[in-house]
Amino acid sequence: MTSRKWGGVAAERHLFEILTFNEVSEKFKNNFSEVEAVVAVGEPRDRETLYQKLKNAKIKIATLIDKTAKISPTAKIGEGTIINEFSTVHSQAVIAQNVLIDTFCKISHDIKIGSHSVISANVAFGGRINFGERVFVGMGAALKENISIGNDAVIGMGSVVLKSVENCVTVVGNPARVLTNSAQKVFKH
Ligand SMILES: CC(C)(COP(=O)(O)OP(=O)(O)OC[C@H]1O[C@@H](n2cnc3c(N)ncnc32)[C@H](O)[C@@H]1OP(=O)(O)O)[C@@H](O)C(=O)NCCC(=O)NCCS
């Protein structure tokens, strides 16, 4: 199997190929019994769409955890989730399916992260934060313990979040302030 290069070391180590969904269909002629896949995109809503396509096609979903990541034995990690280099997941954390956690993240104790969410590199979370589904957290954000982050919320890179964030709201800055109240794409180009 030839691998296309990807920044994610986990993918290279596991000899995953990076393909579009159509390329997967063409290559395997809809015979997916030998195929294992994860979703390799960083836009939460696109992650959900692609995950559903994989499920509908009955493609086996992998879970990729880099060997340098430290995961508490009491944490739960859903299928399709990717955890990249040097991230730590502490006790009783519950990470749902198809979540992407990039490098050097601290996922503290008792945190819940909803499906299809994306946690960018160098993020630090205090304990007991409750994240909804399809949340995006930008690079280097820090979130205080015991808050809730709603479905489809976006936390801008470098934000310092001290209070809960409602569904579909984007916050930025230190201390974080509301930028928009309606759900938006993170990657616009
Ligand atoms: C939050 C975010 C999604 C907003 O994007 P956007 O809607 O295109 O916002 P704009 O660039 O139009 O900026 C709108 C305003 O918010 C401010 N702003 C945007 N992002 C900000 C941030 N992270 N921190 C502080 N202010 C920010 C801009 O300065 C601008 O302010 P102004 O109106 O006073 O000039 C984006 O800036 C961001 O942080 N993306 C995450 C990047 C990232 O982590 N990528 C991971 C790559 S792997």
- Joined together, the tokens standing for residue 144 give 């205080």
User: With a 6 A CB cut-off, is 126 part of the ligand 1 pocket?
Assistant: no
Residue with tokens 């801008």: 156
Q: What is the pLDDT of residue 56?
A: 94
Question: How many structural domains compose the chain?
Answer: 1
Examine residue 58 and state whether it is found in any structural domain, yes or no: yes
Whichever domain contains 2, its CATH number is 2.160.10.10
Burial of 63 (0-12, 13-18, 19+ CB in 10 A): middle
Please report which confidence band the pLDDT of residue 3 belongs to, taking 50, 70 and 90 as the band edges. very low
Which residues have C-beta within 8 Å of that of residue 141, sequence separation ≥ 6? 120, 123, 124, 155, 156, 157, 158, 159, 160, 161
Smallest CA separation from ligand 1 atom 16, residue: 179
Smallest CA separation from ligand 1 atom 4, residue: 156
Q: What is the pLDDT of residue 7?
A: 44
157-170 per-position pLDDT tens digit: 999 999 999 999 99
Q: What is the pLDDT of residue 30?
A: 79
Q: What is the pLDDT of residue 25?
A: 85
**What is the CA(120)–ligand 1 centre distance, in A?**
14
Task: Considering only residues 156 and 22, tell me which one the structure prediction assigns the higher pLDDT.
Answer: 156
Rounded percentage of the chain residues whose pLDDT exceeds 70: 92
Given the CA of residue 102, which atom of ligand 1 is nearest to it? 48
**What is the CA(86)–ligand 1 centre distance, in A?**
26
Examine residue 129 and state whether it is found in any structural domain, yes or no: yes
Examine residue 29 and state whether it is found in any structural domain, yes or no: yes
The one-character DSSP state at 186 is S
Examine residue 105 and state whether it is found in any structural domain, yes or no: yes
Examine residue 189 and state whether it is found in any structural domain, yes or no: no
Query: What range does the domain containing 63 cover?
Result: 1-184
* Residue 84 contacts residue 99 (beta carbons within 8 Å): no
Given the CA of residue 137, which atom of ligand 1 is nearest to it? 44
